[in-house]
Structure 1
Amino acid sequence: MLRVIFGSQDGSLNELRRIVPPLVSMGSTLAVLPVPRSVRRRIKGRYTPWGRFLEQRDAYHELIRRLVEMRKADPDFDSRDDILTSLLKSRYEDGSAMSVKEIADEVLTLLAAGHETTAATLAWTFERITRHPDVLAAVTEEAFTDGNEYRRAVIAETQRARPVIALVARKVHAETFQLGEWSIPRGTTIMIALSELHNREQEYPDPQRFVPERFIERPLPPYAWLPFGGGSRRCLGSVFATLEMEVVLRTVLRHFSVEPTTAADERLQCRGVAVTPKDGARILVHRR
């Protein structure tokens, strides 16, 4: 992800590898907690998680500022095709350019949402298929063909059964919003529990079973499957993330033989924003 976003940047990638992972990890954890007043007043201190996070964020913003200056001065700027250069070239409708802070925020979103969630979904995919030998055999057989229908269904069923984002939140901006029998006032945040939504018997008969065929045999009703959220704020990277997962799953199955297991399902572990397999989705493989 760092190479895709920044391209070749000499030793700067090493500095990013040092700064970004702890920033994303800490930010993901703190994202589910209320912001203390001391943080709102910008009081810093290394003795609190919020204080450490603010220090890490400041270091990240300073590094992005330096990288932006270096990129603008690059004689090959016009021919570069990395994401950072694309952001610098982009313009708003009024013709203005993005600020360094806006670019830093967009890049951090790509690094967090474009890596953590995709990696977690892949981990759950391998955890699921090793515990369902028939699914493992079918998706492995397809990996040696040009087809992808079953592989896409396996990933979709994994996202249904093990969504890595537990909640989707939306704030009411209208005067009121009518949700069934409830009238929700402006300013209220509505939280949707995806694990509950994805286990509704009405849309998914026997929802505790892992059945990829659900996504082949019939179309699902709208808003019954929301691993990428929904509406106008649906994840912009959903197509890219799905392509990434398809390619990785097919490549692994082509080059490695994955052994099924009778081990118990791995428990869920909350890593801040993302829900991951508690033991890291350990599997046994042999090179073909």
Structure 2
Amino acid sequence: MNQFISLHKEAGCKALRQLLRQPVATMLILLMLAIAMTLPLALYLGVQSGQQLLGQMNEVPTMTLYMQIDAKDSDNQTVKKALQDNKQLEKVVFVSKQQGLEELQHSMGNQDLISMLDSNPLPDAFTVTPQVDTPEEVAALQAQLAQLPMVESVKMDAEWMQTLYRINRFVHQLLWFLAITLGLAFALVAYNTIRLQILSHREEIEITKLLGAPASFIRRPFLYLAIWQSLLAAAISIGLCYWLNSQTQPLLSEILQPYGVHVVWRFFNLWEVLTILLVVCGLGMLGAWLATRQHLLSFKSVQ
């Protein structure tokens, strides 16, 4: 067990010394890897912070149920009870025809609308707030409410809700696309970096192989080299995300303040940081493993 730990410690220290031996080249590689990581990480923070914004902007619109003109109070009470018993509705507000006329009069300002009318042409109405997630569920709920007795029609701002839903869905798809493609790019960069390191130590590796060293012994320093590169690049990327958050937060607050919306860019929590480090190290090790495997296979074919 002590020998196993000693071998890994020696390989890790050797890889770190190899990075420090070429500081300029190492920094360029780390910056390239960090920039590739920063794009999906910054978008992830934007998506998570945007959930708060969507919540404040009311992603699901309200619906208005218009009763028939000849609907009686008993009909209104029947519909009101059916709405209150509906589990898909969060809030139900009754707006009488008299209240609707007064609001219309108030919106028209100085014009005396009431004196111009022989009778109130407005119907009683209910304003309801659904608690459903998708446009399909909202459309199904609208059709269900339209079947209630003495309900003339059900209106809602479906286009605005569907636009918000599609934007949110598009951003999530873009996030996954960037995460997968840039993750593969990260692994390819790590592969190419380790391959160049292997070529620069080709003679040393071949001599070690001729002396009977197993593949794991040859591969171990390069795996630790990939781990060090991944950890340092991840640290730089997280630092870039923090800088980006601090720079964009004042501008975001200035843009949204006139609309009464307050959004704070969130940052990674501890578990997210650990997940990032694990995923990045896994991608780096994958690239290093493929590079060393290719070299060892080519060496065998030469033999």
TM-score by length of 1: 0.29
TM-score by length of 2: 0.28
Q: Which has the higher contact order (CA 8 A, sep 6+)?
A: 2
Query: Which protein is bigger by CA-based radius of gyration?
Result: 2
